[in-house]
Structure 1
């Protein structure tokens, strides 16, 4: 409860963080409930193609005369699902290997760090593009695994550094004297102490995964199926959005949705950082 009260106090003091938190909450609600109440029509009407914003279609229409707003709402869920899954996988692998490496030391530390170094030196984006093109799947979990294939490495090294500093602390030494197993030591003693850093990194990992996911659909290496923001941008570009103003709203609406979400995540993560680091709090 203290965390919640501290967070609320920070949000009230930092209006930017409050706005960011509200926007993130709205996006989550739209992703969860939007497709339940809003449907993308299958009707095609070329006479209504690329209409400007109106009461009927607040963000205009696409080349098939379908509302852009409904596509933005329905397309939020697949984007958010993959982004959150990729962040969870990234956090799980990075934290697990980082804590194990830092606490175990010796040969275990050396092996894990050499593997981590390999993934840190591999060009992440080209590897993701190649894997997505070869596997060519729309499965959210597989896409999340592809997006997180190298993202965990930097986190693992950072967590290892913290684990090394905690390994010689008094509470860890006391737990060793009590015969606490390595699993309990890592899970109950070390993990809670790196929790704040992990929470902030989790939000930033979501933003990175969303950017990468949209990039895959924009480049066309992921299958164009269903509706999401990346597919919308891909279709708008393929229809000549850069050379005509007719499809401007179809192109820039999903781009604006992505940018607003990313900025909101950054502002909200700043609030979390202030909660976990009192010296950063707004006076």
Structure 2
């Protein structure tokens, strides 16, 4: 595990992405300590522009946007991580089980996965959220987690099917290793890269989807998140009255966390994919060669 972490941190994209995500995690953990105001208290004039007192201005109700952004980080990250864990757990379990047992088990699980996979994702979420009424963050995380695992299951199954034919797996089966050990000890550790890829991608999808649902008014107005901030800005016609900061703050937060998670995803892909790693090494060698050539030309001109 320490070697894996060192390899991950040596990748520039992964290291930058991890730094961004960890900054969000720290903000979420210490939100009560760094938020200057109560996020739901009236602390200024309506639609007050950014100033030294209110760094990101105020809302139509006179609430501090910066404080809401900090507390919203906690909610949005919680939804993303919880739903990501649910998606990854279900997808990994179904994918490995289908690949390892094969036959009828594989056919049934693969059919079930295909059914979920062809369902239109966003319309399904909209229907479920509308049917349940205005739901809280935990319910949104559960809805997304239980309806978004199919792609991860398909990818994990394909990777596990390839892994199943490896010599060390065949040797373990021949010496009579129990099923649980074959799955948990022999196969699962070799799928960590694809599992991490699925988890990070699920967190990105969840944060954006949660913001979309809440922006459309399907979330609980009592929950404070980036999506409800956008919903409140829309109902207050913030752009129409020139209060652009109410929209910019949550949008920038969503974009930045998306960039951080995407960089981590690219890093994981480069580390786990030998072809991507080779291309990266070739590109690095070409950059070094160009730099050396430029230095030689400068020395020749002198």
Q: Distance in 2 between the 1:193 and 1:6 partners?
A: 16
**Contact 1:207–1:262 under 8 Å retained in 2:** yes
Does 2:202 match 1:205?
A: yes
**Which residues of structure 1 form unaligned runs of 5+?**
none
Does 2:143 match 1:146?
A: yes
Q: Distance in 2 between the 1:78 and 1:187 partners?
A: 32
Partner of 2:261: 265
Change (3 A) 1:204 1:41: closer
Structure of larger gyration radius: 2
- Cα deviation 1:184-207 (Å, max 9, x = unaligned): 211111111111111122111101
Change (3 A) 1:280 1:146: farther
Q: Secondary structure at the match of 1:148?
A: helix
Q: Distance in 2 between the 1:96 and 1:181 partners?
A: 17
Partner of 1:182: 179
TM norm structure 2: 0.86
Change (3 A) 1:193 1:23: same
Change (3 A) 1:226 1:155: closer
Higher relative contact order (CA 8 A, sep 6+): 1
| Offset, 1:41 | 4.8
Partner of 1:236: 233
TM norm structure 1: 0.91
Change (3 A) 1:281 1:35: farther
Does 2:133 match 1:136?
A: yes
Q: State the Cα RMSD in Å.
A: 1.8
- Cα deviation 1:72-128 (Å, max 9, x = unaligned): 001111110010011000000101000100110110000001100100111111111
**Which residues of structure 2 form unaligned runs of 5+?**
285-302
